[in-house]
Chain A
Amino acid sequence: MEGLWGPAMFLVALILIFSGFPVAFVLAGTGLLFAGLGTLTGHFDPALLLAMPERAFGTMSNYTLLAVPFFIFMGATLEKSRLAEQLLESIGIFFGRFRGGLGLGVVVVGALLAAATGVVGASVTAMGLISLPVMLRHGYQREFSLGVIAAAGTLGQIIPPSIVLIVLGDQLGVSVGSLFRAAVVPGLILTGCYALFVIGTAAFRPTVAPALPREVHDIGTRRLVRLLLGSLLPPLFLILVVLGSIFAGIATPTEAGALGALGAMILAALNRQFTRAGLSEAMHETTRLTIMVVFLLVGSMTFALVFRGLNGDLWLEQLLTNLPGGVIGFLIVVNLIVFALGFFIDFFEIAFIIVPLVAPPAALLGIDLTWLGVLLAMNMQASFLTPPFGFSLFYLRGVTPAEIPTTAIYRGVIPFIIIQVLVVAGMILVR
């Protein structure tokens, strides 16, 4: 009986989340429900709930989480600055002369934008609007084009700076700066794998990704250089300000986020795209997402408090540290759970519900939590792409013409999800 509280609570929360009622309140409500049941049967001390306001104050003054609205605002402002559009055009012209070049250009732009911002939506939207029509017009296969765009646009969440990594850093209790640093190489490897896939496809199936006709890309070297410089400098400037200052150790991620947000406004202004309406919309978006994220966190804190009060953490710890295969068994199970949940819920829920539960057992097993954070972020990359509820798929769906069936998008991302799984497996193997 004693040992059943944890699993029961976990199961009930999971089932109730699927009712569709806001996840934050389901988690808090499930916590209270079990606090009540536990109190009645003498298994829970209701005085534990008095810790809630202190935890809420802790969230309010959480310096790491403060970076989240900064990076959201930065992404929203950049989205309106038309920076991504200009980058896609110039890189498209530059790479378009080669077979598969447009696809490769999308991957490169995806990685560049990823290093400049911490969000995913902006890149996918811009690529869907700018690159997709060009690719389709010049004979690119539909599924292939959609897949490249969705996958490359999602790179923003694994390549630092990234909101996913900030939230993971907070939940794992590791420094966001070191998490950013640790994510650079895996992020680049993933980008490389995408690029290899595009190049390989173009080499072996030329009809899928043909080169552009001469008149499209032949605009004169001078003009091309000017276009490339003009579009590359702004994102490089942002990368220098944000990532550069973090990696050089002169700014915390939060400070870099604030400066990046300011920088994005300045770039938008220089690009003559800084309007009152745009600013208002960016603030609106930032406020809404901040409300959503923080309340999800407060809800899951209530859940976690009661879960611990009922010794659910001990149950989970015992379960996860005694898996066959030890560390490898643990990593495989956790990654399978995260991957499976990724089909239905997005990374915020995973980060707030699953990560705090698996972090203590991971530490017990001697796993480096910074490395685990990168591994989980890599895994969650897939949750953005897995149908039917991947965020990137929605963004892409939102900007593609109606005659493109949603199933084409689903089919297009399959190879990239497979690449994703292989990279996660590779990370576990070479650990």
Chain B
Amino acid sequence: MVCACREDGEWRILGRNPAIYPIRSRDTRMRALLAFARAVGHLTDAVYAAIRWLTLVMILVGALNALARYATRYTGVSLASNAAFDLQWYMFSLIFLLGAAYGLRHDVHVRVDVLYGRVAPRTRAWIDLVGTVLFLVPFCVMMLLTSWPAVRNSWAVREGSPDPGGLARYPIKTVLLVCFALLLLQALAQIITGIAELRDGTTEPSAGESPGTPVPGGL
């Protein structure tokens, strides 16, 4: 099985991320779980591939909105549209909500690696496993539980935009649920691969990734 991160040759990965290294296990039950984890990983990457171009669309919509507002001001003819205005932040929301699971899988979320960068890969695997179980999973569950009634209400009244001509609100609010469902799935996948790695101890980061490299892309 080839891991799906191959196209991301440009990634510099902080620390280690068990989910993107192929892990084999002798145990059949474990093998089934690992297959599940890999399937989730593919889903996560597929979602990311779909949202990746949204950035460009968001920028073009944003620039058009700005130009339309100037044009309105100087010509007096209203060219600005609330739908287009809403569209730019819908894109923004889609990008980070649907990209969250990808961020987890590919270690995008920022870490403080004063110590993490110096400890053994096994210790890092433990930190990630315990952190995912104790922090991330409860967080996803809490967000799902609290968002559910809010989203249901939004659907019940088919919540629209407070602005005339704006986009309906209930679909974008639903994405919040999708976000945390995907994040929860990916978290479970991370737990499975983490356990497999700790039990079998078969994987090491491949060459070229140095643990303790800073998160790229600070500003």
Contact = CB atoms under 8 A, between A and B. Distances in A.
Interface of A: 17-26, 28-30, 32-33, 49-50, 52-54, 56-57, 60-63, 65-66, 69-70, 72-73, 75, 118-121, 156-157, 163-164, 250-251, 254-259, 261-262, 279-281, 283-292, 294-296, 299, 302, 344-346, 348-349, 384, 388-389, 391, 394-395
A295 B109 contact: yes
B53 to A, nearest CB: 7
A82 B55 CA distance: 22
Interface in B86-129: 88-89, 92-93, 95-97, 99-100, 102-104, 108-117, 119, 124, 127-128
Contact of A53 (B10, B66, B146): B146
Interface in B183-212: none
B66 A60 contact: no
A279 B109 contact: no
B24 interface: no
Contacts of A296: 109-110
Interface string B32-58: 000000000000000010011111101
Contact of B109 (A22, A52, A69, A118): A22
Nearest to B124: A20
A19 B56 contact: no
A295 B63 CA distance: 25
Contacts of A349: 110, 112
28 contacts: A18-B115, A19-B127, A20-B114, A21-B130, A21-B131, A22-B104, A22-B110, A25-B109, A28-B135, A50-B149, A53-B151, A60-B92, A69-B92, A69-B95, A70-B59, A70-B62, A118-B219, A119-B219, A120-B218, A250-B73, A258-B65, A262-B59, A281-B10, A288-B103, A288-B108, A296-B110, A344-B114, A384-B218
Contact of A261 (B52, B63, B89): B63
A49 B142 contact: yes
Most buried by B among A21, A61, A394: A21
Contacts of B69: 255
Given A292-B109, A389-B214, A287 B51 contact: yes
Most buried by B among A29, A75, A254: A29
A25 B131 contact: yes
Given A32-B139, A49-B142, A50-B146, A24 B110 contact: yes
A11 to B, nearest CB: 15
A255 B143 contact: no
B96 A290 contact: yes
Interface centre among A75, A258, A302 (most CB of B within 10 A): A258
B59 A261 contact: yes
Contacts of A29: 131, 134-136, 138-139
B58 A69 contact: yes
B76 interface: no
B98 to A, nearest CB: 9
Top 4 A-B pairs, shortest CB-CB distance: A20-B116, A29-B135, A258-B62, A21-B131
Contacts of B88: 66, 258
Contact of A18 (B99, B114, B135): B114
B62 A255 contact: yes
A281 B15 CA distance: 22
B82 interface: no
Contacts of B95: 69, 287, 290-291
A121 B116 CA distance: 23
A302 B10 CA distance: 33
A66 B59 CA distance: 10
B135 A26 contact: yes
Nearest to A261: B59
Contacts of B67: 259
Nearest to A251: B66
Given A60-B89, A60-B172, A73 B103 contact: no
A53 B176 contact: yes
A19 to B, nearest CB: 5
B60 interface: yes
Given A20-B112, A20-B124, A287 B52 contact: yes
B50 to A, nearest CB: 12
B164 interface: no
Given A22-B131, A70-B62, A121-B217, 17 more contacts: A20-B116, A20-B119, A28-B136, A52-B142, A53-B173, A60-B89, A69-B58, A118-B219, A164-B219, A254-B62, A262-B63, A287-B54, A288-B108, A290-B55, A292-B103, A349-B112, A389-B214
A255 B85 CA distance: 11
B150 A53 contact: yes
A19 B143 contact: no
Contacts of B217: 121, 285, 288-289, 292
A400 to B, nearest CB: 15
A35 to B, nearest CB: 8
A310 B139 CA distance: 18
Nearest to B58: A69
B25 interface: no
Given A20-B127, A29-B134, A60-B172, A290 B114 contact: no
Contacts of B146: 49-50, 52-53
Contacts of B142: 32, 49, 52, 302
Contacts of B113: 20, 389
